Structure 1
Amino acid sequence: MAVDNAPTHQDHARPAVPTLEEVAERAGVSRSTASRAINGGLRVSPEALAAVEAAVAELGYTPNRAARSLVTKRTDSIALVVPEPDERVLSDPFFAGTLSGLSASMADTDIQVVLVITRPGESERTVRYLRNGHVDGAIVVSHHRNDELDRALLDLRVPNVFVGRPLSANESDVQFVDTDNVEGGRLATQHLIDRGCRHIGTIAGPEDMSAGIDRLAGWRNAVLAAGQADDAVAYGDFTIASGATQVRRLLADHPDLDGIFIASDLMAAGALSVLTELGKEVPRDIAVVGYDNLGVAASTSPPLTTVIQPVVAMARAAGARLLDQMDGSPRPSEPLIFAPELVVRESA
């Protein structure tokens, strides 16, 4: 049987991939000089660097990332670490805003963002992943006290920035970006006081997260300063379901409430549905203020008065600080704290 060894049309159509050797030849330099020029330009003259860059552009050469990482000791990737169950990450607009802001901060670089979901009780797996050098740095959001990721990252010396104040390590040891949640909680509650509410309750966030603790402290500061009781407290987990459950409990224990500060818009959305079911008119019977302003607030019934948490800007700033760390820039002496703002809508 005759075998036709002639090249096929498909063989002709597939262009040859340019090699490092071809780049070096085109630039008139050695292979090692071409490699150093492509991988950072160390110990390469300006003339050779320009020649290599021109050859790369002419040939359409793309460096081999695996080989490049051996030279630079960099992976050109960072981790966005989220210590939450999968369903939370996929359903909460907070995480979409975080990813958007972080991606924007990396837009002018070749760095890729890797999403690392750390399910409850699995923080050791995440620490092992970070320790093994898969990424050059990490952004951690939605941190819980028992995760202790801040302590682990300090021990690993992996560049990192937290979005939200971490709880388990000394704040001076950790870089973080946050909003002033104490002031945000006070601002929301003061708005209810100013509109005449005389018994204001709260659905606070988790007791193992700084956002939950701080927003509750802001509510308490405001009601006590106004001479009101601070006994009407329920705790949710920043989900719609917990808002619905906890508002029932709150009203069962305190049926005379005429105002509620709810520590997230998702919880407030769940609470508003229950208030409608119970025949409570918002804001005539009970005024409601939420926290976040991430899109949910404008679509509730009625639209929700809420405190702005600038998640996209916070994540963008965290990404910029991480890039500075990775480049060896001096560390900022203070965390970056955004001031909260109130958006007034029909619910209050």
Structure 2
Amino acid sequence: MVLPSERRRPTIRDVAEVAGVSHGTVSRVINGGRWVSEDSRIAVEAAIEATGYTVSHAARALATGRANSVAFLLTEPQHLLFADPTFALLLRGATEALAARDMTLVLLIAEHPSQYANIERYVRAGHVDGVLLISSHESNPLLAALTSAGVPTVCSGVPLGDRAHVPTVSVDEEASAREMTRHLLGRGYERIAVITGPDDTPGGRYRLVGFREEMGDDFDPVLVEQDVYSSEAGDAAMTRLLQRAPDIDAVFAASDVMAVGAIAALRRAGRRVPEDVAVAGFDDSGLAATTDPPLTTMRQPWSEISRRMVEVLLEVVAGGPGESIVLPTTLVPRESA
């Protein structure tokens, strides 16, 4: 009698025998290859379940030359992965999309320029099949290094500079900012300030462009603050705005975390939200619905962004063109504005 612990692990040939096909057909099904009939695919999948066969990722990597993993590369301070819920949402979505393909996500964080070389060496060594670049700054050399090395890369947001050859999954930053600005103007607010992100990021630059264009002749540069995406920065920016222009009646913060900081500064100054100053955000990352009052914001489709980034990246890995995608945002009105 063969004890359970002595049973050998099912092989690809066992699956082929049960399915009544060649082991080459089983290999093509497992590795997502083409030229497999639907009947053969169904038979192989049933045989895999019946035999309890599991894929050896090491063997598949040797056979295909691929790592069967993808890097989630964040070029921001490490604490933002936990402080800014947008990154956690993208991380979760990418992990789920890859898990559905039996692939692994590798988290890489390059907070300082001193870490860029290590990241580049790791990626170029073939430890991952491609890179999901989650944040991009115009001055950061990592994107150019990855693309020049031929590493399949997809960006979240359209990177600044001459990067037309890099596929992206993004929202229309300008149009989204214009829509929120129209909403505030339509509610009768006149002295509308904006707190936006760093100018070397697509969100920081283009959300300000959309705001400025929608305000038209009423745009006042005195009512503009730019800073990093954090609640502390939003608080400090709102404080500066109140000092310069105490007659502000609304503020559009280009992220929900910034908006939370702005609300804190307004409360400290004795201003009620929205009775004295309306506040609007951007992202709908989970914070917006739990602030006091709940935050009017522009919702980004986080699950779809991460899912489509994975799809585009795997298309590039397979040798495809990797077309860029622009997804719609949605205005979510709540009590803050």
Q: Does 1:149 align with 2:149?
A: no
State which of 273, 293, 309 in structure 1 corresponds to 2:300: 309
Given residue 85 of structure 2, which amino acid in structure 1 is its aligned partner?
P
Given residue 148 of structure 2, which amino acid in structure 1 is its aligned partner?
D
C-alpha separation in 2, matches of 1:44 and 1:222: 53
State which of 175, 181, 203 in structure 1 corresponds to 2:195: 203
Deviation at 1:331, TM superposition (A): 3.6
**1:16-63 CA-partner distances (Å, limit 9, x unpaired):** 33265974996799x996996687498999899999878765543434
Q: Which runs of 5+ in 1 are unaligned?
A: 1-10
TM-score computed with the length of structure 2 as normaliser:
0.87
Partners of 1:23 and 1:52 within 8 A in 2: no
**What's 1:233 paired with?**
224
Q: Does 1:114 align with 2:127?
A: no
**What's 2:325 paired with?**
336
Partners of 2:13 and 2:23 within 8 A in 1: no
Deviation at 1:293, TM superposition (A): 0.9
**What's 1:345 paired with?**
334
**What's 1:218 paired with?**
210
State which of 183, 188, 198 in structure 1 corresponds to 2:175: 183
Alignment length (residue pairs): 333
Q: Does 1:264 align with 2:255?
A: yes
Q: Does 1:275 align with 2:266?
A: yes
Q: Does 1:246 align with 2:237?
A: yes
C-alpha separation in 2, matches of 1:343 and 1:49: 44
**What's 2:317 paired with?**
326
Deviation at 1:228, TM superposition (A): 4.0
Partners of 2:234 and 2:261 within 8 A in 1: yes
**What's 2:151 paired with?**
158
Partners of 2:195 and 2:234 within 8 A in 1: yes
RMSD of aligned Cα (Å):
3.1
Given residue 108 of structure 2, which amino acid in structure 1 is its aligned partner?
V
Partners of 1:140 and 1:160 within 8 A in 2: yes
**What's 1:102 paired with?**
94
Given residue 306 of structure 2, which amino acid in structure 1 is its aligned partner?
A
C-alpha separation in 1, matches of 2:331 and 2:16: 63
Deviation at 1:202, TM superposition (A): 1.1
Distance 1:15 1:286, change over 3 A: same
C-alpha separation in 2, matches of 1:157 and 1:115: 20
Q: Which runs of 5+ in 2 are unaligned?
A: none
Partner of 1:143, secondary structure, is: coil
Deviation at 1:69, TM superposition (A): 1.2
Given residue 210 of structure 2, which amino acid in structure 1 is its aligned partner?
G
Q: Does 1:80 align with 2:82?
A: no
What is the percentage of aligned positions where both structures have the same residue?
35
Partners of 1:204 and 1:235 within 8 A in 2: yes
Partners of 2:297 and 2:333 within 8 A in 1: yes
Partner of 1:173, secondary structure, is: coil
Given residue 163 of structure 2, which amino acid in structure 1 is its aligned partner?
E
Distance 1:236 1:19, change over 3 A: same
Q: Which has the higher mean CA deviation after the structures are superposed, 299-308 or 117-126?
A: 117-126
Deviation at 1:118, TM superposition (A): 1.5
Deviation at 1:82, TM superposition (A): 0.9
C-alpha separation in 2, matches of 1:251 and 1:17: 72
Partner of 1:285, secondary structure, is: coil
Deviation at 1:207, TM superposition (A): 1.7
State which of 110, 135, 144 in structure 1 corresponds to 2:128: 135
Partner of 2:280, secondary structure, is: strand
